Amino acid sequence: MNTDVQAWLQSQLGTPLDLTDLTTRYARLGTARRVALEVLNERLANLRAQVTTVNVSGVVSVSFTENIKAYERQIAALEAGGSPAPDEVPGSDDGTVLLGTFQLVERPRR
């Protein structure tokens, strides 16, 4: 895993990262996108396993439902191919075809 992949993972997952864990996952999974999805799915599962709302009347009220929704949106965006990782070749394994355009210029006639 090179520094570009590490920087991309840091931008997707946040700063407190265990690089040895990420390197192990990268060696096992093969792509940065799969590593990010696995980490985000683990974080989402941990949030769902906890109580989502704590309310003490007149003292404090804490809710994690928006955090759960944010993780779900981020996972959906990564699964949809948003934010391309530096180790991905565009159109390599997801079946998409890249199209380009070119401009036709009229040549002078005789």
Q: What is the pLDDT of residues 50-94, one digit of tens each?
A: 888 888 988 899 888 898 999 999 999 999 888 888 888 665 555
Q: Is 95 left (phi over 0), alpha (psi -120 to 50) or beta?
A: left
| Whether pLDDT at 95 is above 70 | no
> What per-residue confidence (pLDDT) applies to 93?
54
Q: Tell me: the pLDDT tens digits for 1-46? A: 788 999 989 999 987 888 899 999 999 998 999 999 999 999 999 9
* DSSP strand pairing (60-63 vs 53-56): antiparallel
Q: CA-to-CA distance for 3 and 1, rounded, in angstroms? A: 7
Res 76: pLDDT: 92
The Cα–Cα gap between 109 and 19 comes to 64
Asked if residue 29 lies in contact with residue 38, where contact means CB atoms within 8 angstroms, the answer is: yes
What per-residue confidence (pLDDT) applies to 26?
92
